[in-house]
Amino acid sequence: MPIVDNSALTMYELPGLKHQTFAGPEHGMQTLEVWGQTITPGSATPVHRHVCEEAIVVLEGSGTCIINGENCKFGPITTLLIPADVVHQIINDGAENLRLIAALGMAPVKVRHGGGEAMPLPWQQG
């Protein structure tokens, strides 16, 4: 059984967001990706969608998930369930870092902007 040393994984740092891929195509995964992300207070993911389902486990922090135009508040120790191909955004409107783990049912995950155009991900380049 392969074991991944998460501390040795590349950390991608974008404005307001840090990302690591814990499991993905680079680890031999063919139908699943698992991401770890930290979103700083006042920051957010882009408005986006993907053709696969996503489960986001919130470890620390709080925020708002905008899904199909509806604002849904959440706190720590909750799970956000995002249906396939639904426009959504995660916003950290709390006072502390928002730490989460996301499992997505596709590898590699093909992300699109809310309007449908392709959104290249920095951790999928190369």
Instruction: Report domain extents, the chain.
Output: 11-119
How high does pLDDT run on average in the chain?
Answer: 95
CB 28 within 8 A of CB 2: yes
Question: How far is it, in rounded angstroms, from Cα 105 to Cα 33?
Answer: 7
Task: Place domain 11-119 in its CATH homologous superfamily.
Answer: Jelly Rolls (2.60.120.10)
Instruction: Tell me, yes or no, if the pTM score tops 0.75.
Output: yes
* Residues 64-89, mean pLDDT to the nearest whole number: 97
Check whether 2 has a pLDDT greater than 90.
Answer: no
pLDDT at 91: 98
pLDDT at 125: 79
- Model confidence at 118, pLDDT cuts 50, 70, 90, reads very high
Check whether 1 has a pLDDT greater than 80.
Answer: no
